[in-house]
Amino acid sequence: MNSHWESAVRILAECFDDQLESLRRSLIADFAIVSSVCGNVYTLLAVNSELKLPSLAVGHDFPCRDSYCKQVVRSQQMLIHTHLEKFTHRILHPVFTVMQPESYIGEPLWIRGDVVGTLNFSGFTARPRGYCDQAIAQVKGLARAIEVELR
């Protein structure tokens, strides 16, 4: 992890851990993750969860070839999935092998005009009713606040 991202990890831990936890609980998600995506590498910059999975720790890198975060970066917009079981081709991705989530909401993080990562929340249960407008606005709002601090 380069020094810029080491600084980002420190800022995220100091300034956003409580907000990540609060929003994760509000969304009934099992994981809140802030990541950087550079080329085909997905790096965990912040992880908030009641579950402690060693493979999902800050600083870990994963190939992001077919990840939902890669889709967020490519599309440059929020991605929402409320029932991931039907997307069986994603199960082989290392993050999904570890987590096996059923729901996902991810927002791009912009720095100086480029998407550099994501803020995302995932859970082990499907969300048949999706995410309400307020929840979507909260995810977007937290992403904007994180961007300001990471600049």
Domains and CATH numbers, the chain: 3-125+144-150 (3.30.450.40)
pLDDT confidence bin for 100, thresholds 50/70/90? low
Length of the chain, in residues: 151
Residue 53 has pLDDT above 60, yes or no: yes
The model's pTM is 0.85
Say what angle helices 133-150 and 3-26 make with each other, to 10 degrees: 160
Instruction: Determine the average pLDDT of the residues in 62-68.
Output: 74
Mean residue pLDDT of the chain comes to 84
Give per-residue pLDDT as tens, 74-93.
889 998 877 655 544 444 44
Q: Which two structure tokens, joined as six digits, stand for 106?
A: 């991810």
Instruction: Determine the average pLDDT of the residues in 56-79.
Output: 83
Residue 23 has pLDDT above 90, yes or no: yes
- Give the bridge partners for 42, in sequence order: 37, 62
